[in-house]
Structure 1
């Protein structure tokens, strides 16, 4: 329980790190719903009635197993028992001989089983278990012999030399690109046996493309006194696939992933593109070990970091925003294109936009100059749109370099100590012509929470927010802002917000508007002007198509400058909202109701209160998803909330 809970603690994106139980027994209840084995009604272990011994593999062969199978398994079990008795932490190689004999015997059983007349199902089951044992023996031998294999990309010209060895691994490129040529240094070492026969050392491309590998001859033997260092020359195939997941979906509106037909579905991710494989022989047993080829970086603090080498595009291209709305009658909109360079040493691409019919962009093309790999630049275009209400449009960014076009980009997923992977998306801006109005001259401040894209989305309707720091919340003149928006989960991650909450209420009392977005139970401390209850397990409505009822149609939130109807809740993506209030003071007015099938009515998703001269709103609806994804109705309703300070219905 301690180990598993400590592991769960690394799920930090939501949980923030779980607590680890103190030492002691932990109770867990299990119920057996059915069994095909003869076992007591109340079992003592999960394995009652199951032969978990090594010789139990023979049971998988059915009533007539090959005559050599069970005796052979008993011999293997004997070698394992001998290895366990002989094991020494100081001299792990003492068990290597028993492990080698066990591995050889397993391999002979595999060969015999393959030639047997067992049924296809029985043969598959027995071979599966034997091959698992084969891999386990191999891994145990690698550990017992303390074999080490490392493969690093190295800078050209650093193939050897004492100074290079003293300096340690040098920083390299972080993303290989198709056509790139570079050296790879493979390091093989063992400290335990006077001499091991080396059968092969090679580099293998996992995509089975031709990497044009120039292989040096491996040494005939690997002695305990000296490591073997071999430098390979490789070139990334021009058609090498990028290192990316084998599962994709177009967006959050897609409920399932599309899986590549060629994918190995028993692996969490597609393999990294290049690995080193070495095979040595010990007492007649072949021992294989492998290592992915790695790139190297040096970071102050963590020091030298090695990560599996990925393959990606020469240029990674992304658009900002990637989704949104274009208000009807807009004369121009601004879009940005971010380009990341993976080309060494320099590159000079040009960037342009592919536009819908009738749209124009200024300038038509923008040249970019990169002086080194890993560099990023952002260029901006002014676009003149031509939109109709409700119609969807797509703008695509295209970067051109050396006769090739690039119109997708990636983000790196992971953090220090975790192997990185790469999520790709098209460099597109998908937008909808929308009848959305925003009151003029409404200065808006924003208190960032745990991270959302609402401020960037609001730019599309002409709202340019000012971010409030901890010092601003404590000392700044807040009344200069017509509205203050609190970001998602702000009360969970901004202790300064809690400390200065009274100033926010004073701001409302003097005429300001505060809009509190979705917050977790950290908000359940009556931070509003009147009491409310969220609970430790607040409700959420996950069906994005759940019916939304407007409870107070005359409320100013629904009438100016946009007339809000239930149609504005069409086309929402992924969910309606989360962390609805459960109860509230009568001075609050519930504005909307929705619920999932079988769920009680949820009226605590949007509550409105007048306090002094101002307005206070708690909003659990998922605007933080809808606005960045360009849902028109969400923009219209949020614009109304931001426009409340200018609403003629509010005196």
Structure 2
């Protein structure tokens, strides 16, 4: 396993800012950070998903109490639905990772993760812990706790199930075990090469009152977190709303709240607090050896601080940093006498935290700004990056730019390092990169429950801790001080202004397959198009690895003289060798300049998060199935975002996205079927007015297929021609048995005969937000249930209405069709295919 120095890991675990690489340096932030210097307490909040965290409490703890505050989300939210786009699975997890980091920039807390994968809704903790691999996820939690060293741990959910989701309950079960395991040297002893054991003072449950569940009570310990922070100009209810509103993929925009707001807590483990969250914990410098003089010096600096001349505090802050360094040397001598006791003390930990805080304060007060940029957004692995290092001093503070270094270079002395006030210094430099910039948790294939992490020391980090960076060395007020800055690309967008985005380190040539799934229902060949992009000057070839049961032609396609930035497309002919059902994965190999790669290029761009670039495996699926189709033209009404239209085009349908004008005023009879996208009746308010036209289309002989909707926030309750009710009931086991109640059902027989075989190979789940209270006019041909749950027929209902047919389904076709599940294709085509004689 690759190892990174633990000091680097500890430093990088708390780096969350990406909107700019330099931390904020406004007067309000400086004064807030001066207050934090004298507080040595920490709190870790623990839950299962993005959006589970209590943003008002986090903001209060970080900005009012000045504790080091963190949120450990066990997953990255990969299994949820996306209300703003079509990304699912690990792609959605990438977006939600950035949404959490944006939220933390608002509330002031830090963000951590385990390797757990959000595999979708889970009804019980037993299933969750089995799929996650309990021991691995517990080890990750222990690792984060031993690094972060929280005085108080808080879990969002209880172990008794009131949180509903099995992931929620599992997070509380694991938090209780991790509370003790982190302090036990016999648990995960391999971690003790890098960290010490740690015992938090207490574990609390942050009880709640939402929905129909109230777990608070007057006798519980409570905190008023509704105060106002004059330095920030906001109440913690306002900060919480700004933080939570970053969860845009989940539609969690929140109103700003002002006034008193109480949070309630129940003690789970450790001593119960009586008067304060930190009862029994010394959160002053007295918790460290030789800390009293440091505290006195901080008070003196804070009292003398002049907001009109923050640079005047620089000499005293530098002297304070020297005082901290000196006490470290004294403490080392102290450790030789009391080694065991001091090894378990907080001094070394708080020295690291406060040294970083002090250094940032010194730079902010000195008006010292410095960052490092690449000249281009992307480079090929192995190439040299052209850099620009910039620094400016915007005060009269005594600052000299001495040198800089990178991971591939020793310190380079700056010839003229004297920084004149107000004069920007720019230094060109080159850096060779030897690693593709793939998120560390996506570097290797993974199973359902957890990501495969190649280096356990990276666990906990929200982003790659070893991304290219530059170390700056300055002499400030006579003391040498070093800083790290992540290397980024910066550009100006005409509409949005200056934009920062992560630097892309790519394979020499990427290969994007046009479709993720190719569906064959005969032995006719299909063209597989591959879009190539060069990230360096390259020559080579493109090929598809041979696949049993398939003929691929040609064997390879050569290319020469491609320049960086060139894009071109090649095509292969793929044919099944027989008509037998066959599902196979295939892989494209790009050989460039003598080296072979098999990675595509995927860009995710939304205005509320930084640009995301990954290099997924250049793979797709070939599916040869017995599939009959009927009809040709489909009208589609967009919902929250899904890939069903692309899947239908793959099997030969013409899919047209319907506009409101077309629905209200157009001739809908030209469509063989109209389909509403997932959650359309949650996100499209205009469907209230369009619904009568859609039902008229059915009455006149049309075929309307409505995909699942959330039971909360429906724009109309009249979803169909006859009554039914959407409820929060699911079948989360993708292997759950399906009973065919009506073998003669039209939707199970035309044009494809549906059998038990068609429910094999489904992914993640079967059905979500099923229906109940079903009017007798509807027929329900299927029945299914999770283990230990009652059977339900609410996954698919069908009714004749006038001359036409209405279908409502909560089956997760939006997951199954993009995954190339043969039976899901066959059944969905049936739903679209109303016999002509009806």
Name the TM-score, length of structure 1 as normaliser.
0.84
Corresponding residue of 2:834 = 644
Corresponding residue of 1:103 = 321
Aligned partner (choices 530, 534, 547) of residue 722 of structure 2:
530
Corresponding residue of 1:202 = 404
Equivalent residue runs for 1:167-178 within 5 Å: 173-178=376-381
CA drift at 1:644:
2.6
Aligned partner (choices 625, 628, 641) of residue 434 of structure 1:
625
Rounded to whole Å, the distance in 1 between the matches of 2:578 and 2:339 is 66
C-alpha deviations, 1:455-504, integer Å up to 9, x for none? 22223433332332333222322112211121212223434444322221
Corresponding residue of 2:367 = 146
Task: Identify which range, 630-639 or 584-593, moves more after superposition.
Answer: 584-593
C-alpha deviations, 1:585-616, integer Å up to 9, x for none? 22112222223344443322211111011111
Rounded to whole Å, the distance in 1 between the matches of 2:547 and 2:312 is 72
Aligned partner (choices 332, 335, 348) of residue 114 of structure 1:
332
Instruction: Please list every run of at least 4 consecutive aligned residues from structure 1 whose deviation after the TM superposition is greater than 6 angstroms.
Output: 249-253, 367-372
Report the secondary structure of 2:675's partner residue.
strand
Cα pair distance change 1:220/1:628, threshold 3 Å? closer
C-alpha deviations, 1:521-566, integer Å up to 9, x for none? 426521311122225xx22322212222222222111123322223
Corresponding residue of 2:416 = 219
Report the secondary structure of 1:465's partner residue.
strand
C-alpha deviations, 1:153-185, integer Å up to 9, x for none? 34xxxxxxxxxxxxxxxxxx2111134335322
Corresponding residue of 2:175 = none
CA drift at 1:108:
1.9
Equivalent residue runs for 1:302-321 within 5 Å: 302-321=496-515
CA drift at 1:621:
0.7
Corresponding residue of 1:10 = 246
Rounded to whole Å, the distance in 1 between the matches of 2:549 and 2:766 is 35
1:273·1:310 contact (CA, 8 Å) conserved in 2? Answer: no
Rounded to whole Å, the distance in 1 between the matches of 2:472 and 2:411 is 16
Report the secondary structure of 1:640's partner residue.
helix
Rounded to whole Å, the distance in 2 between the matches of 1:352 and 1:470 is 45
Larger-Rg structure: 1
Structure 2: any 5+ residue segments left out of the alignment?
Answer: 1-55, 57-236
Q: Is 1:33 the counterpart of 2:275 in the alignment?
A: no
Cα pair distance change 1:450/1:339, threshold 3 Å? farther
2:642·2:814 contact (CA, 8 Å) conserved in 1? Answer: yes
Corresponding residue of 1:130 = 351
Aligned partner (choices 379, 383, 399) of residue 590 of structure 2:
399
Rounded to whole Å, the distance in 1 between the matches of 2:453 and 2:824 is 32
Rounded to whole Å, the distance in 2 between the matches of 1:588 and 1:121 is 72
Aligned partner (choices 518, 526, 529) of residue 333 of structure 1:
526
Equivalent residue runs for 1:385-424 within 5 Å: 385-387=576-578, 389-416=580-607, 418-424=609-615
CA drift at 1:121:
6.7
1 or 2, which has the higher helix percentage? 2
Rounded to whole Å, the distance in 1 between the matches of 2:820 and 2:832 is 17
Report the secondary structure of 2:758's partner residue.
helix
1:76·1:102 contact (CA, 8 Å) conserved in 2? Answer: yes
Corresponding residue of 1:292 = 486
C-alpha deviations, 1:36-74, integer Å up to 9, x for none? x4x56xx232112221112123xxxxxxxxxxx2xx200
Corresponding residue of 2:297 = 79
Corresponding residue of 2:257 = 22
C-alpha deviations, 1:229-252, integer Å up to 9, x for none? 3222x1424xx1111111138779
Corresponding residue of 1:61 = none
Cα pair distance change 1:451/1:85, threshold 3 Å? same
Report the secondary structure of 1:394's partner residue.
strand
Name the TM-score, length of structure 2 as normaliser.
0.66
Rounded to whole Å, the distance in 1 between the matches of 2:724 and 2:716 is 8
Rounded to whole Å, the distance in 1 between the matches of 2:553 and 2:626 is 25
CA drift at 1:363:
5.5
Corresponding residue of 1:185 = 388
Corresponding residue of 1:580 = 770
Aligned partner (choices 443, 459, 465) of residue 633 of structure 2:
443
2:469·2:484 contact (CA, 8 Å) conserved in 1? Answer: yes
Rounded to whole Å, the distance in 2 between the matches of 1:355 and 1:466 is 36
Cα pair distance change 1:607/1:330, threshold 3 Å? same
Structure 1: any 5+ residue segments left out of the alignment?
Answer: 58-68, 155-172
